[in-house]
Structure 1
Amino acid sequence: MGVWSASLFDALDESDLLRKDGEKWSVAGDGVLSSWVADMDFPTAPVVRKALRRRIEGDLGYPAWFDQSDGGPLGGVFAGRMLRRFGTAVDETHVRMFTDINQAMLATLQVATRPGDAVLLHTPACPPFIDVIEKTGRQPLTVPLQANDTGWEFDPDLMERAVASRSPGRCRVLFVVNPHNPTGRVFRRDELEHLAELALRHDMLVISDEVHADLTYPGYRHIPFVSLSDEIAARTVTLTSGSKAFNLSGVRCAVAHVGPKTVRSALDERHGLMFGQVSVLGVEALKAAWAQGDGWLDDVTRVLDRNRRRVAERLPDGLRYRLPEATFLAWLDCRGLGLPDPDPMPYFRDEAKVLLFSGPAFGAAGNGFVRLNFATSGPLLDEKLARMGAASRRRQ
């Protein structure tokens, strides 16, 4: 192992987690183990803590990067990371900063589309994405992923029919989540090329959420959407942050690499008070994570790789699970339990004292499913699975 050993990641104190005041643990309830929202239980990377302490002891005044036309303080760091980890060269001056992925998506939709325009995306879909689309007056055009013996796939014909169902030119955006949340799929090059061809043929802007890219497991390869061709790069907005790989959801800092010049200019015209600004602490945390945190990340990924297999080995009877190719999220099919409610979450919360994410919250494609976050210690994961196993046996 690199920075830490697996034993250190497994040395989490349950009582300390229960005292946390963040969303993940504070809403769990007495005696309930939390595995719902996508925060890891692991402590923050040492390089990030060091960077934050240094900034706190320094200048906390107004930052000097209000104008981001040169990419701002994260442009070069992002470009360097894309080249180092994914072999993709990008223009650092195309980077713009936002507080999170959802805000970046919202801002892009506002400047690049009109109310009533459709956004094509796969389901199950992370709930905030549908929320952003609908609250901006745009229409989610959903196409379900299909389960097969090897994992999850999308049906190209269904996507074609979905686009054709709208009046010409009104499906304006293809929204890609890769690696996919909640299924954990890492799309292959041929799949991405089909999506790219669809976007080109229908003149769609592409918004590509790649926030889980750093958490891709051995044997799989994340391919940035912008790397497919120069033509695709010129119409793609790539969204990412350190919220998942480095557990930095609360620092509120994300980036958008904005390929289309018209979208970039429109965002710059409205930058500042309209879309808000990231904090200096958020920038320092993300800069340190991306520039110096790879050793910590490699250690975490090895522990998560072990944990995803642990779920497969110890999953209760009656539940189905396809090993995720990325992310720290297990998408569990609970339909074999015969629960009367399409949402298994309340059953496991009440009967197993394990809080999972509701499957139906991801759309109709999530009926009968729950999402389990396995970014925790081995002993805690074992306890959660044991509780779920006991509750499952009571249904049989």
Structure 2
Amino acid sequence: MLDDIDIAELSHRPGLKWARATGGTIAAWVADMDFPPPDPVRDAIAGADLCYPVWEQDPGANPLIGAYVRRTQSKWGHRPEPNSIRFFTEMIQALQAILYVATAPGDAVAMHTPSYPPFLETIELMGRRLVPIPMVDTGSRWTFDIDRRALAECTALILVNPQNPTGRVFTHDELAALAAVAETHDLLVIADEIHAELTYEPHRHLPFASFAPHRTITLASASKAFNLAGLRCAIADVAVPHVRKALDALPPRMLGEPGTAGILGTLAAWEHGDPWLAEVRALLARNRDLVAAAFPGQHPPEGTYLAWLRMADPAGWGVLLNPGPDFGPGGDGYMRLNFATSRPVLDEILRRLATR
């Protein structure tokens, strides 16, 4: 049934993605899937007790702590320490809180570019200075060179892996090289691994915390893999003691926290949503191949459901994409296409873009 969704149905959805797609335009921009979330998530939310949760007084009683530890260990062989886990409403909030307590205005922060626009905006609005690590098209894939002199002036590195928007899944050697530089220059590494469960064979996600365990803060959420962005639930494995201490010193609830629906919905996804995820991953792999066939000579993503395409803005073609310049340095001349949709919708997207 996930592959039977049509444009008429989607056009009535009230969320941001389709609300912006007016006048018959197809939404292929913001990173929401068009697939409905897993039934176990819906059931968990519908049956939730919405009184004050017990973990409000006893954070260690939060059932998502154990679920996250078990899933991370079973998927990637890395075991987070339960007492290092903190909760946020979303990745942006977690990033901003960590930068607030661990860096100062004027500090330099490295990040691969082009990059996720809200991360770029966060660095600018918080008065930190971006040091780009440019993604480079070698002709066969996207890669990067490490400018060790530039990184020497940085306080922190934001590592998005799988990378958004290029879709790269960084290799063992690439991550090991970054870990070595982080060690040499005493960098705090904030690893956004929100797309970790959405990689394509033969590529494999490797947690950065397994390379630099004592200097890495890992950000995770079920929101991308299970299409749950509106639940507002994110996890940070704050394995760096001084950062954890600084976060805990803030006034209680100053940063907000996920509600019961977010916690229980995420728990249901991780504990009961894998059959749904397997079906979605198969559809995404097929869609990735369809996009690659429609745009020969460009690099299919190794992870995510986002294609980074060298093309002109298709304004007036009836497809809403994310403009490349929004992703900062290296974004000119590109567009980002979200292909997490049904076959009929994707076929129509590609038909319209064929006039490019």
TM-score by length of 1: 0.87
Amino acid at match of 1:163: L
Aligned residue number for residue 108 of structure 1 = 98
Q: Deviations over 1:14-47 (max 9, x none)?
A: 1111011111000111110000000000011111
Distance 1:17 1:381 in 2: 13
Aligned residue number for residue 184 of structure 2 = 201
Please state if 1:252 is matched with 2:232.
Answer: yes
Q: For the structure 1 residues 78 and 367, does the alpha-carbon distance in structure 2 shift closer, same or farther, using more than 3 Å as the test?
A: same
Distance 2:237 2:24 in 1: 43
Q: Deviations over 1:233-254 (max 9, x none)?
A: 1111000111110111111100
Q: Deviations over 1:263-309 (max 9, x none)?
A: 11111121533101111101111111111111111111111000000
Q: Describe how 1:45-84 pairs up with structure 2 within 5 A.
A: 45-55=38-48, 59-66=49-56, 70=60, 72-84=62-74
Distance 2:61 2:83 in 1: 4
Q: For the structure 1 residues 182 and 88, does the alpha-carbon distance in structure 2 shift closer, same or farther, using more than 3 Å as the test?
A: same
Distance 1:204 1:180 in 2: 19
306, 310, 315: which one aligns with 1:349: 315
Please state if 1:300 is matched with 2:280.
Answer: yes
Query: Which aligned runs of 4 or more in structure 1 are off by greater than 6 angstroms?
Result: none
Aligned residue number for residue 32 of structure 2 = 39
Please state if 1:177 is matched with 2:170.
Answer: no
Q: What's the secondary structure of 2:218's corresponding residue?
A: strand
Q: Describe how 1:4-19 pairs up with structure 2 within 5 A.
A: 8-19=1-12
Where structure 1 has 5 or more consecutive residues not aligned to the other structure, the ranges are: 1-7, 335-343
Deviation at 1:320, TM superposition (A): 4.9
Verify the 8 A CA contact 2:25 2:319 in the aligned structure 1: yes
Q: For the structure 1 residues 307 and 354, does the alpha-carbon distance in structure 2 shift closer, same or farther, using more than 3 Å as the test?
A: same
Deviation at 1:68, TM superposition (A): 6.8
Aligned residue number for residue 234 of structure 1 = 214
Verify the 8 A CA contact 2:44 2:264 in the aligned structure 1: yes
After TM superposition, the structure 1 stretch with the greater mean CA deviation from structure 2, 291-300 or 195-204, is 291-300
Q: What's the secondary structure of 1:387's corresponding residue?
A: helix
Structure showing the higher helix proportion among its residues = 1
Verify the 8 A CA contact 2:161 2:193 in the aligned structure 1: yes
Please state if 1:324 is matched with 2:290.
Answer: no
Amino acid at match of 1:360: P
Distance 2:164 2:228 in 1: 17
Distance 2:103 2:293 in 1: 46
Q: What's the secondary structure of 2:35's corresponding residue?
A: coil
Aligned residue number for residue 337 of structure 1 = none
Over the matched positions of the two proteins, sequence identity in percent amounts to 46
Q: Describe how 1:112-191 pairs up with structure 2 within 5 A.
A: 112-156=102-146, 159-164=147-152, 166=153, 171-191=154-174
Verify the 8 A CA contact 2:159 2:190 in the aligned structure 1: yes
Where structure 2 has 5 or more consecutive residues not aligned to the other structure, the ranges are: none
- Equivalent pairs counted in the alignment come to 356
Q: For the structure 1 residues 152 and 68, does the alpha-carbon distance in structure 2 shift closer, same or farther, using more than 3 Å as the test?
A: farther
Distance 2:7 2:151 in 1: 48
Q: Describe how 1:356-371 pairs up with structure 2 within 5 A.
A: 356-371=321-336
Deviation at 1:71, TM superposition (A): 7.7
Please state if 1:273 is matched with 2:253.
Answer: yes
23, 26, 30: which one aligns with 1:30: 23
Verify the 8 A CA contact 2:309 2:337 in the aligned structure 1: yes
Distance 2:83 2:258 in 1: 17
8, 20, 23: which one aligns with 2:13: 20
Distance 1:9 1:313 in 2: 22
TM-score by length of 2: 0.97
Distance 2:252 2:142 in 1: 40
Distance 1:321 1:251 in 2: 34
Q: For the structure 1 residues 137 and 66, does the alpha-carbon distance in structure 2 shift closer, same or farther, using more than 3 Å as the test?
A: farther
Q: Deviations over 1:146-201 (max 9, x none)?
A: 00122111112xx213224x4xxxx1101100000111100000100000011110
Distance 1:67 1:332 in 2: 48
Q: What's the secondary structure of 1:366's corresponding residue?
A: coil
Distance 1:95 1:125 in 2: 26
Q: What's the secondary structure of 1:238's corresponding residue?
A: strand
